[in-house]
A and B are shown apart, each in its own frame.
Chain A
Amino acid sequence: MEKLTISPSPHVHSGDSVRRNMLGVCLALVPALVAALWFFGVDALVVILTSIAACVGFEYLIQKFILKVQPTITDGSAIVTGLILAFNLPSNLPLWIVVLGALFAIGVCKLTFGGLGQNIVNPAIGGRVFLLMSFPAQMTSWPKPSVVDAYTGATPLGLLKEGVKSGKSVSEIIDLPSTSDLLLGFCGGSLGEVMALCLIAGFIVMLIMKVITWHIPVAVIGSMFLFEGIFYLANPDRFADPVFTILTGGALLGAIFMATDYVTSPMTPLGMIIYGCGIGILTVLIRNFGAYPEGMSFAILLMNLVTPVINRYCKPKRFGEVVK
């Protein structure tokens, strides 16, 4: 009798893989990566390579020697974590701090919970928030990108916060960059957050490759725009205009690349929209009334924790529930 393979249906597969999705994210980050290198030069490259190497290295070492399981570094998720963590750091950050951030991201946020798919918070954001709280000085001294030479300065949101605190109205804060400067990246900030156009290009790449859906980024940016818009209309002297809001402080980086992390975001379209709006509203609240000038990381971190609850209550539209 012939030897036949037996398995239950389906007998075909789409060919999609974890690696393909992770490579999709990496590909989508390339425009922002190129911009980072253009603006911040070799410093940026060193931070990015250190972060990736540290994330992949820690994942390998911890899985191999502490957890004693087959290392999963080939799925590409550690590379994505390293890349996104680096995008959230200033390019002049001492490298040992970068390594420490990678250790926290991979070792604590990811592997403690069981590795890829099991973590509760986004590892890269966990790593960034850990560094922000542990090394506030180093984490908030930003080189202002300049193609010729970089000098240290505050971020647009930092300038805004300081200005408003000292009693100036928004229009009096003269150093604030214009919308076109923000789109093209002529402002201070983390590696990957400065050039808005590159991040939007990355969003389009991921949509075309079907790595993510539009729901979360649109909900985050839309809710930020609307919520900040209300504040702005009520008191334009005290609050920034909504266009400025969505182009600064890693709003796009967060909305497109970090809030959309599969593992820590909800599973249904409705859930994704609630989650996205939660991030948008929290970010605006933290920025306008909190101690920190920016709130994206904190907002995503908080909403990551709410995701299981959202999943519990936001069920997909079942077949047959629609009117007959």
Chain B
Amino acid sequence: MKESKLGDFEETILLIVGILDKEAYAFKIADEFEAQTNRPVSIGAVHSTLNRMAEKGFLKSEMSEATAERGGRRKRIYTITGAGQKALEISRELKLSLWDQFPAFSHGKLNFNL
């Protein structure tokens, strides 16, 4: 049985894959992650997560055409699959529903000093 839940880090990476679209390869994703979250991350960690999500079926990947940059080496571009999109939606719904049940929030103002 393959694990099919979406972890928090995985979710963030998956969203970044979506944002980057055609440019979604390990280095760019790690870079974007650092820029967006201000947290350092190694390419290896991102790559490992991408690999795991590909195994779960949330992502698929393809090698790009070779270009002159990076010594003519090709990149592996990731794209979100249907299952991936579905997993993201489920996760979003869950969070929205949780926020709705949050009493302070449902009264229209955020007040964390409960």
Q: Do A and B bind each other?
A: no
Binding site for B on A (CB under 8 A): none
Binding site for A on B (CB under 8 A): none
